[in-house]
Structure 1
Amino acid sequence: MTDQLLERALVEEATKKSGLIWVRGLPVQGDAVSSQALWHVWHDGSVCLVGDGPGEQPLPGLVDGGGAVVTVRSKDKGGRLVSWSAKVVELTPGSEEWDAAVAELKGKRLNAPDGEAMPERWGRECRVLRLAPTGETASLPDGSLAAPPVSTAATTRQAIPAGLPRLLFKKRKRG
């Protein structure tokens, strides 16, 4: 019983203090979903997220009634602190739960394009999800979970021309 209380306290405190969590939706049809870094708020004993709308974070693999695994990192060291299982619940726009979650999310949303009209847009175009802890925590892996980068057409910067530093840093003659 004491271990369960300590685990629940660790989940709550670590998630509250972290501005970013890693969330992986559990596959419903066998489709593998990778972890996604998401901003969130901790409200009423669970994580609240908003996304899947224009200008908002994507929420791949998170379906109403499904499951998810949430990994929380340490704010000071950046290492994994705890991974916990959650049940995904999509909140209905206009419901009491939705209004309370949106009030919290609105205060944390940075650089919103529409300011005070944001809750109305979220109700029309986005999904607001609640990730409720199931009480299960996973043991942390020993190795790295780093994945290879996604292939892209973007390139890295080329080496600078050899003569450029001389042009930039040559002394100007005073006349």
Structure 2
Amino acid sequence: MDFSKAAVAGVDLSVSLLTGCAPQSSYSPAERQAAVAELLADKTPPQPAYTAPVCYSSPQCGAMWSEALVQLESLSRMRIQTATDSFAQTYRAVGYNTQSGRIRKIPQPDGSTIIDAEFFCDYCGSLSNEARVLFASSVMAAGYGFDTPGHSVPPAKTAATPAQSADDYRKAFGSPAQ
């Protein structure tokens, strides 16, 4: 149903409620009811996609696992109950709008390791999925810059010093007038 039909049905409904009489309309009662239901439907935005972070070397996995532990506690706002070199979980969430979580390392046949996260929350809507997406983003950032065989990362750009910037400016635009 397009928006114009929904708007007409909504106006028809408003007029009938305000005036106490049924307006003359070309839309059937079923069409008006469907239009009102569409307007009142809960329209939640799509959830961001979650991609579990992957590490490829021991130093990279160590850095990413350290960040994973920090993010587990930070995003769940619960203290860590159990932590090993491949698994960690927080205490169980209590009350409304609190969540618990767990993370684990999952070795892959190609030698890489997935660092997966799960967050659990009652009555939080999409908060658990959003926490997973934030978790993945932070953990992947912690692993950036490690050069691993077959998975090299381009070097980060270094910022120019003020002297370099001034020299570049002079070359491009000439010396400033004095």
The interval holding the TM-score normalised by the smaller chain is: under 0.3
Between Structure 1 and Structure 2, whose CA radius of gyration is higher? 2
More helix, by proportion:
2
